[in-house]
Amino acid sequence: MQRELTPADIIADEAEFMLFYKPAGMNFHSEDGVKGFVVLAQELMKTKELYSVHRLDKMTSGVILLAKSAKSANTFAKMFENHKIEKYYLAISTRKPKKKQGWIKADMAPSRRGSYKLLQTKNNPAVTQFHSTSVQANERLFLLKLHTGKTHQIRVALKSIGSAIAGDIRYADATAAKQEERGYLHAYALRFKINSKEYTFLLPPKEGKRFTSDTLKKILNEKYQQPWELF
């Protein structure tokens, strides 16, 4: 059963926007009679005046911004579209990547049953930059910066270098993925400037044994407290 949002899920409450923690396994929009994140956030704050300006996949946890007015929503939507908001993610794979850091740039196209795939062309490419480090045997942590915002972008990008995300039933080995507590993708940080003020929000993962191990926490504390410095 899906949990509700609570006051503990509120990260920031500013004049023009709010930031929340979205739990893993929660739909962003309402679906099949199940309330999605946006509706649950509105109910928590007892207002309809919260507007989505970007989204996270159901399996993805982490920081998400909702605007407080239609005007602010338009402003933030344009900022996301024009890459004025830096987005950083964490992911874990049990597969060794073809390369440990760098860029993944390629066009994306729909594949089968709602999935996507990378193409050989680069006409309107999805652009992902990443850095990775070993957590333990058969477990690698990826820090990723999105330069575009395509559907399933990170999930497809990591699969393309041989490191599908642990627990990702759609893109990893389904049998192995179903043994995981969750899909290990997390929206870790947002960084932007609006009305001459700079904002930085960093939110470590809260769910899943792999994301909350002492070893991974140590890596985050020692290497990834200022992720923008690695790109």
As a whole number of angstroms, the distance between CA 66 and CA 55 comes to: 10
Say which of 9, 13, 32, 57 is annotated catalytic.
57
Residues 6+ apart with CB under 8 A from 162: 95, 96, 97, 98
As a whole number of angstroms, the distance between CA 226 and CA 146 comes to: 16
CB contact at 8 A, 117 and 152: no
CB contact at 8 A, 172 and 196: no
Q: Which helix (H) or strand (E) holds 67?
A: strand 61-67
CB contact at 8 A, 186 and 144: no
- From the list 152, 172, 157, the residue with the least C-alpha distance to 110 is 152
Task: Give yes or no: 32 in active site.
Answer: no
CB contact at 8 A, 157 and 117: no
How far is residue 94 from each of residues 21, 27, 185, 202, measured CA to CA in Å?
25, 25, 13, 25
Residues known to be catalytic:
57
